[in-house]
Amino acid sequence: MSEKRFDEASSTSPEATDPNAAPLGYHDADVFGIEEDHQIQYKTLTWPLVAVLMIAEIVSNGMLSLPSSLAVVGLVPGLVLIVFLGLFALFTSWLLIKFKMRHPEVHNMGDAGFILFGPIGREILSFGTVVFAVLATGGQILAGQIALGVLSSNKLCSMLYTGIFAIPTLLCALPRTLDQLSWLSVPSVICIIVAGIVGMTGAGLHPIEGWRDQFSVAVSTDFVTAFISITNPFFILISEMRRPDDAMKAAYTLQIFATTFYAVFAAVSYIYLGPDVASPSFTSLPVKWSKAAYGIAIPNFLIAGSLYSHTAAKLIFIRFFRKSRHLHQHTVFGWGVWISLIVLMNGAAFLLAVGVPIFNYLIGIAASLFASWYTYGIAGAFWLYDAWVYKGGFEAWKRRWAMCGLSWLTLAAGAFICVAGMYVTVKQIVDAYDSGKVSEPFSCG
């Protein structure tokens, strides 16, 4: 594959003159190809909608867990880490986008793994993407279960709430294209922003008294506890963009919004609710405020779960039907497989959520094993690979020693987050069993 093919457009090419076109040759290798005559068109997303999709998918998880993380690491270190990891994620997003633009055939991390490591890399990274997406779907279903339980004062069995929430999560995941889900994500993002404001207002009006005498701006502990559930299926989103070279605009929007919102919400919640703030933090609010915040946040939990299960199903669907007519036409077989995959992903998420007593810790293990690499570490390998193959091998690394060093540090950071996150999560599991906090499978507790 030549370097020029996807990085430069000739002045007379349609790609050079059409402001909505991808780089020269991009559509020749892209998984969805030229779509003008297709019944189902995937590449319809604009960069603002991609930003909205990503915000809808990831912000609620971080927002509701970070106040308790500040209680672990302390206010100042926690805020510094939030900003640092936001900037780091922006850098790795840039590396990922560069890799995607050079390799349009990449639709997901499995495809990237094939380029870097061959067939084994494809299977491992595809497996990790699906596993984490299914577990993240289960996590959102559990968030919905908590919300429904709070709203109804837990009058029903919690497993019933989980089942009730799983049904609309499945239905919202059914559209074949992300463009259809993106419009559902707009009110989802509005809801989580309003819910966050309601939560901060409730915390400020009803603070926990007395604890500020022991207020800690810094605590010595392992910061990985705060960041064991970060992921971003960016390749899949870029693949459905109308203009993929606008992807960096979406990345900037996501990280600026998420980092700012995380820092403000986590700091306000921690300062007013104290070191014993729960995760999710809405649970620490007075009953009326907790019900208001959870009620407003429910649409976000719903759409985020749908996006995760859609991602898992889409990866497998593309693996089955890449370059097939079933990908772009309304065939009975194509729709049958798609619906079956959506049901399978959501069914697996539901069964794991209600049947595995340590499910939340399982999400932490998957995040450490896979998401730490997807969000951070493996991006360094993308730059190192392309520099080696297209820029001149080891000499290219020496010429661009700063980027080479940053790429190796990115790999090292991914490895550290993976190992440290695994250690923290396993220790939490052991402590949970030792303290008797682990419930029985399929229980109403």
35-49 per-position pLDDT tens digit: 888 899 999 999 999
Q: pLDDT class for 211, splitting at 50, 70, 90?
A: low
Q: What's the average model confidence in pLDDT over 166-185?
A: 93
Q: What is the pLDDT of residue 5?
A: 43
Cβ 239 vs Cβ 96: under 8 Å: no
Q: For residue range 110-124, what is the model confidence (pLDDT) as tens digits?
A: 999 999 999 999 999
Q: Give me the mean pLDDT over the 228-237 stretch.
A: 64
pLDDT band at 422 (very low <50, low <70, confident <90, very high): confident
pLDDT at 51 over 70: yes
- Residue 8: pLDDT above 60? no
pLDDT at 419 over 60: yes
pLDDT of residue 220: 36
Average pLDDT value for the chain: 85
CA distances from residue 226 to 74, 170, 211, 402, 429 in whole angstroms, order as listed: 11, 29, 21, 29, 16
Comparing CA positions, the residue from 100, 88, 89 lying closest to residue 26 is 100
Q: Which candidate, 145, 430, 167, places its Cα nearest to that of 280?
A: 145
User: Distance (Å, rounded) from C-alpha 226 to C-alpha 221?
Assistant: 10
**What band does 305 get if pLDDT is binned at 50, 70 and 90?**
very high
66 HSE (CA, 13 A, CB side): 30
pLDDT in the model for residue 33? 85
CA-nearest of 49, 368, 128 to 230 is 368
Q: What is the pLDDT of residue 364?
A: 83
Say whether pLDDT at 366 is over 70: yes
pLDDT value for 16: 44
Q: How far apart are CA 236 and CA 25, in angstroms?
A: 19
Strand partners, 241: 45
Token representation of residue 172: 């919202």
